[in-house]
A and B are shown apart, each in its own frame.
Chain A
Amino acid sequence: PDSLELLREAMGVMQHHDAITGTEKQHVAEDYAKLLHDAVSGCAESSGDALRKIFANATNVSSQYNKMAVNMELETCPGLNISQCAYSEREDSFVVTLYNPLARTKKQFVRLPVQAGTQEAQISYTVLDHEGKAVPSQLVPVPSFVRNLPGRTANTTAELIFLAEIPPVGVASYLVNRQKTKNSEGENADYLYADLKSAKYNK
């Protein structure tokens, strides 16, 4: 309740006419950014808590999952708009849980900042949906004008893209696995050379 109240208060402040129009003074704009950041971060934590409770008490999963869910991290990545996410960058295997706030099924392309391989050390990715089925995915390079954005600290040079389907006001989870060598048996595995000069594509 405290974090929700903090976000409510921050959004109330943001209804001020100078906040909406961007006619506030510079130091006020920076204070607005700080207010919103603190409030959204707090709500992200609360949202994770709520999801953990839902997963820990879900009845259509194994009891082992219920127990694991109690300690599930459920972190957010606020830097996704500059292709930055410490989790997808460092973990060889991670779960993306998507929450759909709309009251209808939503299909949305998910873009995850990931490591690209090199010709010598190839990397491939597989994405599994909640039924364990492989989901088609594609790697695209992150252009230099995004990689070099000031303030971006990520070392990722590619984005992994797949189409997710999430139920109304619901969640869907996808398991992403990274293989350090080319996986010839991988279902829908994709790989990308970091050295784009050697990349080839078909018509």
Chain B
Amino acid sequence: ADQLVIGTQDLSLTLDTKSGRVINGSFNGTELNLNQEFLYYRGASGNNEVFENRSSGAYIFRPNGTAHPILDGKDSIKFDFVAGDLIDEVHQTWGDFVHQIIRVYKVGVDYAEFDWVVGPLPDKKDPFDGREIINRFTTNLKTDGHFATDSNGRETLHRKLNHRDTWNVSIVEQEAGNYYPITSLLRLTGMPENSDKGVSLAVIPDRAQGGSSLADGQLELMVHRRLFRDDAFGVGEALNETAYGEGLIARGTHYVRAGSSEDKTALGKERVLAQDVLLPVILFFSSGKNYSKEQW
């Protein structure tokens, strides 16, 4: 088949089987043209003597150009598909150092999970001065540069691309100047083309990450970075963490919800989900050998 649909009537994702990528989402009756992709920014390298020559590092985010796809458009993602009564999963391999498990549960929850496993990132032999990996969601929603982020897990703040509320700002570095800290929520609202019904898309990360909406209908969050120069802000080391002799591997999850922008309960549901992610259930294990079913 050209397309693979995982999930149920209430919540599903559609993948293109040739490219292996998500191309559509259906969330409780709201259809959304939704693409999901991993990209990377290249690190900047300089002598740190002047502002314009600052290297990317532990403190500094100033990517060298716009983001590049992990896989070229012609390269397809290798994937496996698992289906069952409770959950459908797609296991994806995006080249050498990015993998993902996409999960759609069939009962009990109203979000999809994007469980990313990133690393080890290329070492110093890499032609670029380090890479910063992002997870980007692209929709056909017209948002005019507007999006929203949480403020340290509390109120939701309105953001606008290349804009500050209290002064006339001139953004010199387009990506860095529009990145915000995302503690628990990144969302946008807009109208799809040829439609008068608004749609909201929200991404809840499982840890604080940097993120933004750098183009209409787009959200991105940074998941991992490895850089090879010190940025002269005091640490005196490159951000080059290793484990078991290789670059660090990071694993985490993005929880994605969407729905009609008329749904006044959406923000509340996103806040509840963020609480569930922040304070998950704790598991304890004991032997069950003393229990027959009757005793249990």
Number of interface residues of B (CB under 8 A): 49
* CB within 8 Å of A: which B233-259 residues: 233-237, 239, 241, 243-244, 246, 249, 251
Q: Does B142 contact A (CB under 8 A)?
A: no
**Once the chains bind, are A93 and B288 in contact (CB under 8 Å)?**
yes
Bound together, the chains give a CA A70 to CA B41 distance in angstroms of 55
Q: Mark B89-100, 1 if CB is under 8 A from A, else 0.
A: 101010000010
Q: Smallest distance from the beta carbon of B286 to chain A beta carbons, Å?
A: 4
Q: Which of A76, A92, A163 is within 8 Å of B285, CB to CB?
A: A76
Q: Which of B286, B291, B293 is within 8 Å of A74, CB to CB?
A: B286
Which residues from chain A contact B58 at a C-beta distance below 8 Å?
A: 21-23
Which residues from chain B contact A107 at a C-beta distance below 8 Å?
A: 108-109
Which residues from chain B contact A166 at a C-beta distance below 8 Å?
A: 281
**Once the chains bind, are B283 and A110 in contact (CB under 8 Å)?**
yes
**Once the chains bind, are B80 and A162 in contact (CB under 8 Å)?**
no
Q: Which of A24, A51, A102 is within 8 Å of B279, CB to CB?
A: A102
- In this complex, which of A102, A162, A202 has the most chain B Cβ atoms within 10 angstroms of its Cβ? A102
Q: Does B50 contact A (CB under 8 A)?
A: no
Number of interface residues of A (CB under 8 A): 68
**Once the chains bind, are B235 and A201 in contact (CB under 8 Å)?**
no
Show 7 A/B contacts (Cβ-Cβ < 8 Å), sorted by A: A22-B239, A74-B286, A95-B286, A97-B285, A109-B105, A140-B89, A146-B117
Which residues from chain B contact A175 at a C-beta distance below 8 Å?
A: 288, 291, 293, 296
A126, closest chain B residue (CB): B293
**Once the chains bind, are A108 and B284 in contact (CB under 8 Å)?**
no
Q: Smallest distance from the beta carbon of B271 to chain A beta carbons, Å?
A: 12
Q: Mark A12-53, 1 if CB is under 8 A from B, else 0.
A: 000000100111111001000000000000000001100100
- Contact residues of A with B, CB < 8 Å? 18, 21-26, 29, 47-48, 51, 64, 68, 72-77, 80-82, 85, 87-88, 91-102, 106-110, 128, 132, 136-141, 143, 145-146, 149-151, 161-164, 166, 175-177, 190, 196, 201-202
Q: Which of B85, B276, B288 is within 8 Å of A138, CB to CB?
A: B85
Which residues from chain A contact B171 at a C-beta distance below 8 Å?
A: none
**Once the chains bind, are A97 and B280 in contact (CB under 8 Å)?**
no
Bound together, the chains give a CA A81 to CA B280 distance in angstroms of 13
What would 14 more interface pairs be, CB under 8 Å, given A98-B284, A137-B86, A150-B249?
A: A22-B239, A23-B235, A47-B284, A73-B286, A75-B284, A75-B285, A88-B285, A93-B289, A98-B282, A99-B281, A138-B85, A143-B101, A150-B244, A201-B82
